[in-house]
Amino acid sequence: MSDEAEVLFERRGAAGFITLNRPKALNALTLDMVRAIHPKLIEWADDAHVQCVVVEAAGDKAFCAGGDIRALYDWGRAGDPTALDFWREEYKLNTYIKRYRKPYVALMDGINMGGGVGISVHGSHRVATEKLTFAMPETGIGLFPDVGGTYFLPRCPGETGMYLGLTGTRLKAADAIYAGIADAYVPSVRLDTLKDRLAGGTEPRVALREVVEEEGPAPLASMQKEIGAHFSKGSVAEILSSLRADGGEWATKTADTIETKSPTSTLVAFRQIREGAALDFEDCMRLEYRLIERFVKGHDFYEGVRAVVIDKDQAPKWKPATLAEMRASDVDEYFAPLGANELTLP
């Protein structure tokens, strides 16, 4: 086991640098990383020498491929409250980043999913490179698109957020910018120049103008008519019915994809995204904590992780197995207030 720190901190000139440092694990976010990053951000917020914060990652494959799902699986299976500690502290960190009073520049150079999204997309300046692969794939492991997905997904153009949340579709840089998940495209070979400018005290908007390039057309933009026609429906069942009635190749594949996901996760994600459109960020995070409390006590998260991460048979046995077996009350229970256990935000 390596003794190297999972996250590195450095103040370089006018910038504070956070480097996720688990490249062999695709920089998956651990509880220890959350507990290191949050106080450092607080420290730098009060440090007059730090004009901006830059978050990046070691290695050339991933910014952050998600939370440390295996640890969460083990804690949850054992009834260890550390699982909920992780999500509680992660959501507080996501909220702090959203509120951060200094420029927060996320360099999304590689895979960025789940937990990685929570420490990047809520920053003030989100940079995508040609290596970016963005996704919110949680419904495929029996969860829901969290880490602020309740807030940013319904604010994507049209019904893009619902499409991404239900399907887990992967996006490259142009689509991420179109969806409002990234702000600028910078080729990875120009990131060092950007970092040097930020360390030298150049304001992020000015520094980005020096290195930004055109990202090219966004395939998602050309799909808005089809996405809107199907994903504006009033329920998951209606979305699937619309896609099946369409009969085209894309519609059929999209319906097939949704039907591989956890029915519970799919119905919760649908309601979560619809409700999130009318909530502020803090209320979105409180809602997500209510949901995660219920998922940790359920079946599908553990079955999804077993199928995708542990046994890797890609054949989860969801309970209930189909949407038809779900009752409205099954979903209502996930959204019920937690009373004294609600997520508290300062």
Nearest residue to 110 via CA among 76, 62, 157: 62
Tell the CATH topology of 1-346. Answer: 2-enoyl-CoA Hydratase; Chain A, domain 1 (3.90.226)
- Is 146 a known active-site residue? yes
Amino acid symbol at 115: G
Question: Buried (b) or exposed (e) across 263-284, using 16+ Cβ within 10 A?
Answer: bbbbbbbbbbbeebeebebeeb
Q: Domain spans of the chain?
A: 1-346
What confidence score (pLDDT) does residue 288 get?
98
Query: What pLDDT is recorded for position 1?
Result: 45
| CA distances for 102 relative to 18, 36, 211, 269, 315, angstroms | 14, 18, 21, 32, 45
Residue 260 has φ and ψ, to the nearest 5°, of: -85, -15
Q: Do 38 and 92 contact (CB within 8 A), yes or no? A: yes
Of 91, 194, 177, nearest in space to 132 by CA: 177
Residue 323 has pLDDT above 50, yes or no: yes
Q: What are the distances in angstroms from CA 340 to CA 88, 154, 344? A: 14, 28, 10
Whose tokens are 């809602």? That residue is: 287
Give 225's contacts (C-beta < 8 A, 6+ positions apart).
none
* Dihedral, CA of residue 47, residue 48, residue 52 and residue 54, to nearest 10: -30
Q: Tens of pLDDT along 131-176?
A: 999 999 999 999 999 999 999 999 999 999 999 999 999 999 999 9
Q: How confident is the model at residue 3 (pLDDT cuts 50, 70, 90)?
A: confident
Choosing from 56, 90, 146, 303, the catalytic residue is 146
Question: Cα–Cα distance between 300 and 243 in angstroms, integer?
Answer: 25
Asked whether residue 252 carries a pLDDT value surpassing 80, the answer given is yes
Per-residue pLDDT for 116 more than 70? yes
Global pTM reads 0.96
What does residue 132 show for φ and ψ, rounded to 5 degrees? -60, 130
Please state the length of the chain.
346
Residue 297 burial (C-beta neighbours within 10 Å; 0-12, 13-18, 19+): exposed
Tokens of 285: 């995070």
What would the pLDDT profile of 181-200 be if each residue is shown by its tens digit?
999 999 999 999 999 999 99
Which one of 16, 67, 116, 161 is the catalytic residue?
A: 67
Catalytic residue among 6, 90, 138, 159: 138
As beta bridge partners, residue 113 has 135
Residue 67 falls in the annotated catalytic set = yes
User: Is there a contact between 125 and 105 (Cβ–Cβ < 8 Å)?
Assistant: yes
Q: Which of 66, 115, 116, 304 is catalytic?
A: 115
**What three-state secondary structure class fits 337?**
coil
Query: For residue 172, which phi and psi values (nearest 5 degrees)?
Result: -100, -175
- Listed in order, strand segments (DSSP E) in the chain are 7-12, 15-20, 52-57, 62-64, 104-108, 111-113, 125-128, 133-135, 184-185
